[in-house]
Structure 1
Amino acid sequence: MARHKNLKNSLVTLYPSFVLHLISLSPFNSLISTPKKSPSPKRCSSPNLSLFFISLVIIFAFLGLSLLNFIPTSQNSVNCSATSPSPVSAVLSDDSDDDEPRLSRIAMVPLPAHRVSGNLTGEEREFWRQPDNEGYRPCLGFSIEYRRESARVSKEKRRFVVVVVSGGLNQQRNQIIDAVIIARILEAALVVPVLQVNHIWGDESEFSDIFDVEHFKKTLQADVRVVSSLPSTHLVSRQTVETQIPRHAPPLWIRTKFLNRLKQEGVLVLKGLDSKLSKNLPLDLQKLRCKVAFHALRYAAPIRELGNRLARRMWIEGPYISVHMRLEKDVWVRTGCLSGLGREYDDIIARERDSRPEFLTGKLNMSHVQRRLAGLCPLNALEVARLLKALGAPKNARIYVAGGEPFGGSSALKPLVTEFPNVVRKEMLAREGELGPYTNRSSVLAAIDYIVSLSSEVFVPSHGGNMVRAMQGHRAYVGHRKFIKPNKRAMLPFIEGLAISDAEFSSTMKKLHKNSQGQPEMRNNKRDREVVAYPVPECMCK
């Protein structure tokens, strides 16, 4: 029926004679034809005038409806309306098999938040209470100009962008997002990104091992043409790899630097994109960033299935907290901080840092004490436990610890387990053989942590980083699930103050974190923020 209706309206627009025929059938015809002489000079004209105005209204109404049918609409945009369902409830089913993916169905959503009940104190109820999302919902309606350009860009077959991405999983995600944006800026096709072997963790995973390639292509088919490999016509024995990209490069710089070369050579190979593209892009490109992050980059089916199984095992027993603990050995080496595990462990980190000084990142002239008080160090297990207790987390709260193997093993988590006995990691939650295929695949293990953490009632990171920013934005995008961002610089002096009472410490921690628990926070208040971490207002509207 819809196809027939569009065909009829097309005829109205393309064949004006059809409209003229309608006019000829009405009294409006008297305005464009020669009137016949009436034998009666005193004939009353009132009925003809009435018919004339009725016909006029009908014709203009018909023409108006025909015109509305030709106003371009986006079939793959998330619109914001007062009657639309919540972003979580509307998207629990998988994507349909239609040619155009429906972006109102998000790629990955958390399990529903629990209705907390039972014998809880007021403080504990407040801890589990979810923030008010203030009516914000995903809103990815692209402009008419963007959609017009898409008809050409999405069919590009002459120019190709190849991107090599590096780092851990969430660092790779950021670079893949920017790769799509750069391909769009240059109006080129994007070759499925190449994942560089991770030398720190020895992970040799390829894009298709971690992400759903076909879903990636299908979701972006109206924005950028994505191909699995370069066509044979563009293969050359040697290709220049471009690595010199300044930080905060705007679209104009990208076009000026690369467009002519791309037109001449047909292929552009980029490497080292990490956080190089400007955070402040035109609105359509910001929306495209969200579309890639929250819709296109869906994990491969085996990872999704395993991650969802573990998440359900946590969820089925009630609300739970996910804590992203950055306690890995390389984190202590890179941050220049001490683990708090004692002299033996501190000496190991110091020797490692002395042998590889290039690993230390930033603030080289600061001591480990200064770094810690400046908020540059990860919170250790004791500090996380004190913060959770002060904010009202029940002692029997179930806690999922995301992150790599802690330096120091189980002893590194002992202070947290002492205060909250129900602490589990993915290795404890998985059944025999489930994690076996991914033993040496750090990116896959990080993806599983991501899936389980997304469904938690409360998410708390011990340190900043790519995982934290990705989780912050994703939790906001699916309804502003509670996200507690520790104010390390402000809270650590109180942790050091042994004379402070538990009640006073709790009151202070609640005041410090009152406005950092997942409420909608505008990105445009601070322009250096990433839209993927702060999707309001570019990617969400009321």
Structure 2
Amino acid sequence: MSSHSYISITQKPISLIKLKQPKSSSKHKLLLQLLPSPRRAGRFFVPFLAIWALLNFSQLPLPPLSCGRFLPRLRPPLRPHDEFWRWAQATTTVHAQPCLSFSESYRNTSSDQDTTTATAPRKYMIAVVSGGLNQQRNQIIDAVVVARILKAALVVPVLQVNQVWGDESEFGDIFDVGHFKMTLKDDVAVVSTLPATHLMRRRVRAPVMPFNADEDWVRTNYMHKLSRDSILLLRAFDSRLAKNLSSDLQKLRCKVAFEALKFQPWIEDLAEKFITRMRVEGPYMALHLRLEKDVWVRTGCHSGLGAEADLLIANERASKPQFLTSRTKLTAQQRYHAGLCPLNANEISRMLKGLGASEDTRIYWAGGEPFGGEKALQPLKSQFPKLFNKWNLARHGELDALKHKPSVLAALDYEVCLRSQLFIASHGGNMARSLQGHRTYMGYGKPIRPNKKLLVQLFMNNTLSDTEIRKKIKEMHTDSLDSASHFNVSSNRDVISFPFPHCMCTNQT
């Protein structure tokens, strides 16, 4: 914090004393004769001062008088920029807050587990999680749930080195281990390492979990593996645990995701600096742009950067067909019409203008290096010059040590997006889903989920004017701002994206 400067004022006024004047020359005497005496000067100065004050007072913006009364001053009209934020931050009809009220049987099981582990041999589970930061987060959440089902102590999860990103960060490099343990102490015992008595014991690799595995499947297939002399090793379970578990386990998922998984303090401090810099002129919005090369390869879509760029992506996809993750029979054009492709910078720009964002809107964009570099961002930057990311906001040297730590850089993006006044993702994904639920849970603002299928239809409709297109864009996304759409009860909804009703409650519940 910068120190403030203060002017010291003495308690007594400085007394004027008669100083000995130097002898004046003849020129100085002549000048003194021409100048008026102090008394004569005062006669001219006082009226001049009064006239000057009157003229300045007349310039004050006083409200007009009417019938002897003051009329209220009219509020200046809202700028388009202000109208956008008023619309984006409109209050909703449904008010909910975090509400993790576990059942009595769940709490009793927790206390029983605490008393029995002191005498009975403790069972341990090791989870190896893979992928990017937010994919790892999802697996950590489910690992805690599995450990709870099996009544096993969880060793701090192991982060597998990502072959794409090459990040060797460990759990404790990114997350606050102490906070993780303390938050979950009533749910699952978490230990940093295996005790010495278990270091030489055999690790039993758990059978591969099928998709949509429920609690019964976990107990049936894993419980017998946790014998007295065994340690269960769990891996390759990404997105395999069922979404519609019991209410208590859904609450546990939220507790892990939104309360236990806290980033290291130094990461949060650095993110806070970026947030402060983004808010220097008021609210800001966050974009998660999925424009990286591997995204275009995996989705099988065209990037909008021309035939040469499309050919490069097509060749890489042909050499690595396993990268195309779903709907392999669809062409790039069919995927685009179906709304399965990421929005490129030009489409994002058109959508933002349709929503009412002005060129003064401050935007933080999260994500990796776009395929095509600056050219890929140019359509967005030309319309919204106040476009920043972590590299633009960082001061000299702030990110030098993190250039080869993509997981930490992703954590910074996550925090800045979480605290924004508005969040939009161009293509969904793990980060977008997690942020959607986290922002709902914390009350940080409502996300906009682009309706890509309808947007594509609008962009290809040559019969509509720009004004009509913008009107329709705003209409189709206004529902995204209504929290009621996020509070619809569905058993198959991912509780991390939609924490209501399992993890939140209204004033009426």
Structure 1 length-normalised TM: 0.76
Q: Would you say the 8 A contact 2:149–2:219 is kept in 1? A: yes
Letter in 2 for 1:174: N
Indicate whether 1:484 and 2:483 are aligned: no
- In structure 1, the partner of 2:263 is 299
Q: Would you say the 8 A contact 1:127–1:393 is kept in 2? A: no
Structure 1 gap ranges (5+): 1-116
Letter in 1 for 2:383: E
What do residues 31-57 of structure 1 show as CA deviations (whole Å, max 9, x unaligned)? xxxxxxxxxxxxxxxxxxxxxxxxxxx
Residue 380 of structure 1: which of 344, 352, 367 is its match?
344
- The offset of 1:264, in angstroms, is 4.2
Q: Secondary structure at the match of 2:226?
A: helix
Q: Secondary structure at the match of 2:234?
A: strand
Task: Give the whole-Å Cα distance in 2 for the aligned partners of 1:399 and 1:243.
Answer: 45
- The offset of 1:493, in angstroms, is 1.1
Q: Would you say the 8 A contact 1:353–1:359 is kept in 2? A: yes
Q: Secondary structure at the match of 1:137?
A: strand
Task: Give the whole-Å Cα distance in 2 for the aligned partners of 1:269 and 1:514.
Answer: 46
- In structure 2, the partner of 1:3 is none
Indicate whether 1:354 and 2:318 are aligned: yes
Q: Secondary structure at the match of 2:479?
A: coil
- The offset of 1:490, in angstroms, is 1.4
- In structure 1, the partner of 2:295 is 331
- In structure 1, the partner of 2:493 is 529
Residues 250-289 of structure 1: pairs in structure 2 closer than 5 A: 250-289=214-253
- The offset of 1:253, in angstroms, is 0.8
- The offset of 1:191, in angstroms, is 0.3
Q: Would you say the 8 A contact 1:315–1:456 is kept in 2? A: no
- In structure 2, the partner of 1:446 is 410
Letter in 2 for 1:165: V
Q: Would you say the 8 A contact 1:521–1:536 is kept in 2? A: no
Letter in 2 for 1:540: M
Residue 146 of structure 1: which of 106, 109, 113 is its match?
106
- The offset of 1:521, in angstroms, is 3.7
- In structure 1, the partner of 2:437 is 473
- The offset of 1:517, in angstroms, is 2.1
Residues 216-255 of structure 1: pairs in structure 2 closer than 5 A: 216-236=180-200, 239-255=203-219
Letter in 1 for 2:105: E
Residue 124 of structure 1: which of 46, 67, 84 is its match?
84
- The offset of 1:211, in angstroms, is 0.3
- The offset of 1:396, in angstroms, is 0.9
* Cα distance, 1:483–1:518 mapped onto 2, change above 3 Å: farther
Letter in 2 for 1:515: D
Task: Give the whole-Å Cα distance in 2 for the aligned partners of 1:237 and 1:125.
Answer: 59
- In structure 2, the partner of 1:389 is 353
- In structure 2, the partner of 1:368 is 332
Share of identical aligned residues, percent? Answer: 51
Residue 436 of structure 1: which of 400, 406, 429 is its match?
400
- The offset of 1:524, in angstroms, is 5.9
Residue 374 of structure 2: which of 378, 390, 410 is its match?
410
Task: Give the whole-Å Cα distance in 2 for the aligned partners of 1:328 and 1:172.
Answer: 19
Letter in 1 for 2:352: L
Letter in 2 for 1:120: R
- The offset of 1:518, in angstroms, is 5.3
- In structure 1, the partner of 2:42 is none
Letter in 2 for 1:497: N
Residue 424 of structure 1: which of 378, 388, 395 is its match?
388
* Cα distance, 1:200–1:429 mapped onto 2, change above 3 Å: same
Residue 176 of structure 1: which of 140, 152, 166 is its match?
140
Q: Greater shift after overlay, 126-135 or 407-416?
A: 126-135
Q: Would you say the 8 A contact 2:208–2:237 is kept in 1? A: no
Q: Secondary structure at the match of 1:263?
A: coil
Q: Secondary structure at the match of 2:194?
A: coil
* Cα distance, 1:230–1:523 mapped onto 2, change above 3 Å: farther
Indicate whether 1:194 and 2:158 are aligned: yes
- The offset of 1:259, in angstroms, is 0.7
Residue 126 of structure 2: which of 156, 162, 176 is its match?
162
Task: Give the whole-Å Cα distance in 2 for the aligned partners of 1:410 and 1:432.
Answer: 21
* Cα distance, 1:300–1:125 mapped onto 2, change above 3 Å: closer
- In structure 1, the partner of 2:174 is 210
Task: Give the whole-Å Cα distance in 1 for the aligned partners of 2:476 and 2:331.
Answer: 26
Letter in 2 for 1:371: R
Q: Secondary structure at the match of 1:514?
A: helix
Q: Would you say the 8 A contact 2:206–2:225 is kept in 1? A: no
Q: Secondary structure at the match of 1:161?
A: strand
State the structure with more CA Rg: 2
Q: Would you say the 8 A contact 2:489–2:500 is kept in 1? A: no
- The offset of 1:442, in angstroms, is 1.0
- The offset of 1:119, in angstroms, is 4.0
- In structure 1, the partner of 2:96 is 136
Q: Would you say the 8 A contact 1:523–1:529 is kept in 2? A: no
Residue 463 of structure 1: which of 427, 440, 459 is its match?
427
What do residues 142-169 of structure 1 show as CA deviations (whole Å, max 9, x unaligned)? 1111111111334645101110000111
What do residues 80-103 of structure 1 show as CA deviations (whole Å, max 9, x unaligned)? xxxxxxxxxxxxxxxxxxxxxxxx
Structure 2 length-normalised TM: 0.81
Q: Secondary structure at the match of 2:449?
A: coil
* Cα distance, 1:538–1:423 mapped onto 2, change above 3 Å: same
- In structure 2, the partner of 1:94 is none
Task: Give the whole-Å Cα distance in 2 for the aligned partners of 1:148 and 1:323.
Answer: 44
Task: Give the whole-Å Cα distance in 2 for the aligned partners of 1:293 and 1:404.
Answer: 23
Task: Give the whole-Å Cα distance in 2 for the aligned partners of 1:130 and 1:225.
Answer: 42
Task: Give the whole-Å Cα distance in 2 for the aligned partners of 1:153 and 1:406.
Answer: 49
Task: Give the whole-Å Cα distance in 1 for the aligned partners of 2:77 and 2:140.
Answer: 44
Q: Would you say the 8 A contact 2:96–2:504 is kept in 1? A: yes
Q: Would you say the 8 A contact 1:385–1:415 is kept in 2? A: yes
Q: Would you say the 8 A contact 2:303–2:310 is kept in 1? A: yes
Letter in 1 for 2:410: A
Q: Secondary structure at the match of 2:424?
A: strand
Q: Secondary structure at the match of 1:316?
A: helix
Q: CA RMSD in A?
A: 1.7
Task: Give the whole-Å Cα distance in 2 for the aligned partners of 1:220 and 1:308.
Answer: 26
Q: Secondary structure at the match of 1:515?
A: helix
- In structure 1, the partner of 2:466 is 502
- In structure 2, the partner of 1:110 is none
Q: Secondary structure at the match of 1:240?
A: strand
Q: Would you say the 8 A contact 1:131–1:480 is kept in 2? A: no
Letter in 2 for 1:449: D
Structure 2 gap ranges (5+): 1-75
What do residues 269-314 of structure 1 show as CA deviations (whole Å, max 9, x unaligned)? 0001111111111111111111101100000112111111111111
Task: Give the whole-Å Cα distance in 1 for the aligned partners of 2:460 and 2:356.
Answer: 20
